Chains A and B, each alone.
Chain A
Amino acid sequence: MEQIDKNGNLKHLLTLEGLSQTYLNKLMSLTDKFIDKNNRLRHTDDLKDKTVVNVFFEASTRTRTTFEIAAKRLSADVISVNVATAATAKGESLRDTILNLQAMQADLFVCRHGDSGAAHFIAKQVKPGVAVINAGDGCHEHPTQALLDLYTIRHVKKDFSNLTVAIVGDIAHSRVARSEILALKTMGVKHIRLVAPKTLLPAEIESSGVTCYNNMEEGIQGADVIIMLRLQKERMDQGLLPSLREYHHCYGLTAERLKLAKKDAIVMHPGPMDRGVEIDSIVADGPQSMILQQVHFGIAVRMAVMVELTAGK
C-alpha cells in the first residue's frame, strides 16, 4: 500500500517510512500554525463539512480524545466508534465495518487496531479520496505519536543533529518505538540508543543503525532525550520478564538514574505510564518531564496531519 501519491503528497499516514526530512519539517511547520503565541490551540475551519471517523478496535483514551479534539478544533464532524463493543463483536469483518462507515460519507478514518498491518489493510479497502490515519496498529507503527515526540524535542532542543536519544523499554512490542526510530533517523539524530533486556529487543535491530544497551545506566549516560515506553503486564506471562519488581530494579527511570543523563535532558513518555514500574513519580512529575506537554502538542500535530491529508479534497 503506497501512502504517497505521484505528486509526493500524503494520501494516508500509515507509516513514517519513506517520509523525507523536508516532509517531516513541513508537518512540524504546519503544526506551528495551530498553536498561538500563548501556547494555546487555535480554532479553524480547515475541515468544515468533513466527517472524521475514529475507529478504535483497541482501547485508548489519550489518542482517541486528542484526535477528537483535533478534528473539532478544525470544525470537522467527528464520530468515534468503539468497535470493541459494536459490529465486529457480532461477527462483522473489519472490511465490512470500514465499508459501512465509508458509506456514511466518512472523509477521514483514524484507526487503531491490535494487528500489525491493519492500517495498511484498511487503506486498501477505502475508496480514492478517503484518507486513513494509523493511530497505532499492533506492534507496527504509531506515526502521529512519533511526530508529536519530534515536535516536542524540536520545541526544546531546536536541532536534532547532535542529540543522543535513548528509548527505554519494550522496544520489540512497541509501535511507538518503531515509528520513533524512523522519525529520529530521518531527522538526522546520530545517536539512537535502545535500552532493554534482549527479550524486549527485536532480532537484528542493530542493523538499522541504532545501538543497543542491556544496561540502563550505560544506556542513558549523557543522553539529551530519554523516551520511556510503557511496559505491558502480559509480558510477564510470555516469559519475557520475571517480574515488574525486577524490571523496575533494572530499567525503571529513577531520579538517581536520571542524573546520569545530561543536566538539561528531557524525559518523555507516550502514556499511559505505570508509575513505579518504568518511571518514578518524582521523575514523571519533575522539571525535566515533558509528558503533559507531549499530550498538548499531540493535538496540534494531529490537526496538522488531518489538514495535510484532506487539503484540496
Chain B
Amino acid sequence: MVDRIVLRNGCIINPENHSETIADVFIADGKIVALESAPADFQAPEEIDCHDCLVAPGFIDLSTTLQGSIHSELSAAAKGGFTQLCVSPDSDPLLDTESAIESLTSQVQRVAKAQVLPIGALTQGLAGKQLAEMAALKEAGCIAVSQAYHPIFNTKLLYRALQYAASCNLLVIHCPVDPGWQDKTYVHAGKENLSLGLPAMPVCAEVSEIARVIALLPETGARVHFSRLSSARAVELIADAKARGLAVSADVALHHLWFTETMHRHFEGYAMQPPLRSEADRAALRLGVIDGTIDAICSAHTPREADAMFVPFSETPPGLSALELVWPVLVKLHRELNLSWCQCLNLVTAAPARILGLRQSALSVGKSADLTILSPTVEWDVCADTLVSRGKNTPFLGHKVQGLVLATYVHGRKVY
C-alpha cells in the first residue's frame, strides 16, 4: 500500500471556489498535505503524471439503486469517478430499517471502494402507509429519506412525513410523480408514443406532484430535494419556488440531458422512470443546468440483469446503467453548452455535497484525498466488456464516447 503519492501537473478543478489551476497534489496518509510545492521532507514512491488531465474532487451521486452484486456496482462507481454514492431506499434490501442499513454498510466496507451514503425510506416498506423510523435510520447512517418511486396517495400522510423528517433534520429526496401514474408508465405521453401505444405518462403527472409537495413546504418546514426532473414545466416550477425563497433544490438524471423520447422509436431503448420527454423538455433541462435552477446531475444508476431485458418493451423494468457514463456526458455538456470544467464538475461534486450538507468536497490541504483523474479527450467504446457494472442496460452500448476516467482515489487509496 502506497501512502504517499504525488499527482504532477494536472489541471486541478475546485468547483467549490471556482478555481482551475495547473499544480501538483501531494497526498500522504489519505489526506492532501500540499498543493503546488512539496512540503518539507516529502518523498513519494509513486508519482503520477497528470499532464493534459483534470484532477477533480471525487464525484458524489445523488441516486444509485443497488441490486444484486454490490461489488460490481461499487467498482463501476470507482471507474466512473465516484467516491460517494447515495443509495436509493428501493434497493435490495429495501432501506427502511437500521438492520438493512447496517447490512448494506457492512457489505460496502468489505468491498472498500466508494463510500456509500444510504437514503432511508420515508415510509415503512415504502408502502406509503406508516412513517419509517427516521431517527433510527439517521443514527444508522442515513443521509436523507425518500419514497423513491413509491406512491403516497394520502396527502395528509405526506404532510406528516415531511414534518417528521424536518424534526429529524433529514433532507427529503423526492422523485416527483403523481401517485396515480406510478404504475408502469415509462414513456412520455407525447408524439413519439402515438406510433407505439405504450402506457404513457404526461408531463402534468410530474408537475402536479411538485406542486403538491411545494404546497406543503411552508407548514412542514421540510427541506426537499426534487430528484430527476424531466420536463420544462417542472423546471419552471422549481425556478418559481426558489424565487419565493423555499428550501428546495433539484437534480436531473444524466440521460435526460442527452436523449429524448425518440430513443423509443420502434420499441428500441429502455424503459425509463421518469420517461424521456420531448426535445423542448430536454432543452429546458439543459437551460436549467446552465442557469442553476437545476443544482446537480445524478446518475439514476439502475443496473439490470440481461435476463430481465428478454421480454417485450412494456414488461422491461425501468432504469439504466449509468455510473460509468457520467464523465462522457459532462464532457459533452462542456462542449455543447459551453460550460467551464468548474461548472460541469460542480454538478457532480460541490453541488451534491451542498445539497446533502457534506463538508467534504474540495481539493484543499488537510482534506481527505477523495479525487479522480480525468481525461477529457480520450475516446472509448462502450460495450459489454468495457462496462464494469453488471447492468449493460445503456443506450450508449455500441457507441464511442469521449471522456475517460483514468483513476479514482478514496482517502488516498487507489480504487480504480
How many residues on chain B are close to A (CB under 8 Å)?
Answer: 19
Beyond A120-B267, A203-B189, A204-B190, is A115–B197 a contact (Cβ under 8 Å)? no
Whether the Cβ atoms of A116 and B196 lie closer than 8 Å is: yes
B314 touches A (CB below 8 Å): yes
| Number of cross-chain contacts by CB at 8 Å | 73
Which residues of B have CB within 8 Å of A103?
none
Whether the Cβ atoms of B197 and A178 lie closer than 8 Å is: yes
B40 touches A (CB below 8 Å): no
Query: In the complex, which of the residues A173, A178, A203 contacts B202, with contact meaning CB atoms closer than 8 Å?
Result: A203
Q: Which residue of B lies closest to A14 (CB)?
A: B266
Whether the Cβ atoms of A115 and B194 lie closer than 8 Å is: no
Whether the Cβ atoms of B195 and A138 lie closer than 8 Å is: no
Q: Which residue of B lies closest to A139 (CB)?
A: B197
Query: In the complex, which of the residues A1, A118, A208 contacts B266, with contact meaning CB atoms closer than 8 Å?
Result: A1
Which residues of B have CB within 8 Å of A93?
310-311
Which residues of A have CB within 8 Å of B195?
15, 17, 178, 182
Which residues of B have CB within 8 Å of A15?
195
Query: In the complex, which of the residues B189, B190, B202, B311 contacts A95, with contact meaning CB atoms closer than 8 Å?
Result: B311
Which residues of A have CB within 8 Å of B189?
202-204
Whether the Cβ atoms of B312 and A117 lie closer than 8 Å is: yes
B46 touches A (CB below 8 Å): no
Which residues of A have CB within 8 Å of B311?
93-95, 121
Whether the Cβ atoms of A138 and B198 lie closer than 8 Å is: yes
B193 touches A (CB below 8 Å): yes
Q: Measured between alpha carbons, how far is A204 from B194 in the docked complex, in Å?
A: 8
Whether the Cβ atoms of A94 and B267 lie closer than 8 Å is: no
Query: In the complex, which of the residues B193, B266, B312, B315 contacts A202, with contact meaning CB atoms closer than 8 Å?
Result: B193
The distance from the CB of A4 to the nearest CB of chain B, in whole angstroms, is: 12
The distance from the CB of B219 to the nearest CB of chain A, in whole angstroms, is: 30
Q: Measured between alpha carbons, how far is A191 from B151 in the docked complex, in Å?
A: 43
Query: In the complex, which of the residues A121, A141, A182, A208 contacts B312, with contact meaning CB atoms closer than 8 Å?
Result: A121
Q: Which residue of B lies closest to A182 (CB)?
A: B195
Which residues of B have CB within 8 Å of A17?
195
Q: Measured between alpha carbons, how far is A139 from B193 in the docked complex, in Å?
A: 10
Which residues of A have CB within 8 Å of B212?
none
Whether the Cβ atoms of B194 and A205 lie closer than 8 Å is: yes
The distance from the CB of B269 to the nearest CB of chain A, in whole angstroms, is: 11
Query: In the complex, which of the residues B190, B193, B197 contacts A141, with contact meaning CB atoms closer than 8 Å?
Result: B197
A302 touches B (CB below 8 Å): no
Q: Measured between alpha carbons, how far is A120 from B313 in the docked complex, in Å?
A: 9
Whether the Cβ atoms of A139 and B267 lie closer than 8 Å is: no
Q: Which residues of chain B from 196 to 226 have a CB within 8 Å of any chain A CB? A: 196-198, 200, 202
In the A-B complex, list the 6 residue pairs whose CB atoms are closest, starting with the nearest.
Answer: A139-B197, A117-B267, A117-B313, A203-B189, A140-B197, A118-B312
Q: Could you give 26 example pairs across A and B, Cβ below 8 Å?
A: A1-B266, A15-B195, A17-B195, A93-B310, A113-B312, A115-B312, A115-B314, A115-B315, A116-B196, A116-B267, A116-B312, A117-B314, A120-B266, A121-B313, A140-B196, A140-B197, A140-B198, A173-B197, A202-B197, A203-B200, A204-B190, A204-B191, A204-B194, A207-B191, A207-B194, A208-B191
Residues of B within 8 A of A (CB): 189-191, 193-198, 200, 202, 266-267, 310-315
